[in-house]
Amino acid sequence: MKTVSVLVGVLAIASTSAFGQAPFLTDHFKCYVPTAVDPTPPAPVLLLDQFGTSNTVVQNVVRLCNPAKKRHNGVITPIMNPDDHLTIFRTGPQPLVTRQVNIQNQFGQQVLITQDARFLGVPTQKDPHGPPRFLNHFSCYAVANGPVLNIPIGLSDQFFPSNHNVLRAAYFCNPVQKTHNGVVTPITNPNDHLTCYTMTKVPFDRTVTLHNQFGNPKFESKLADFVCVPTQKLSWHVMN
Report the DSSP beta bridge partners of residue 171: 196
Identify the H or E element spanning 89. strand 85-91
- Using CA atoms of 192, 197, 203, 208 in order, give the dihedral in degrees to the nearest 10: 30
Cβ neighbours for 221, distance < 8 A, ≥ 6 positions apart: 32, 33, 34, 35, 64, 204, 205, 206, 207
- Taking residues 88-100, what's their average pLDDT? 96
| φ, ψ dihedrals at 18, nearest 5° | -60, -30
Average pLDDT value for the chain: 91
- Taking residues 102-123, what's their average pLDDT? 97
Q: What is the pLDDT of residues 42-81, one digit of tens each?
A: 999 999 999 999 999 999 999 999 999 999 999 999 999 9
How far apart are alpha carbons 214 and 235 in whole angstroms? 33
CB 119 within 8 A of CB 92: no
Calculate the CA 125 to chain-centre distance.
15
How confident is the model at residue 22, as a pLDDT? 54
Calculate the CA 20 to chain-centre distance.
18
How confident is the model at residue 146, as a pLDDT? 80
Cβ neighbours for 159, distance < 8 A, ≥ 6 positions apart: 30, 32, 66, 204, 206, 224
Segment among 3-7, 124-128, 232-236 with least mean pLDDT: 3-7
How confident is the model at residue 1, as a pLDDT? 35
How confident is the model at residue 147, as a pLDDT? 83
User: How many Cβ atoms sit within 10 Å of the Cβ of residue 20?
Assistant: 12
CB 56 within 8 A of CB 87: no
Encoded amino acid at 189, one letter: N
**Structure-model confidence comparison of residues 200 and 20, the more confident one:** 200
How far apart are alpha carbons 44 and 46 in whole angstroms? 7
Residue 21 has pLDDT above 70, yes or no: no
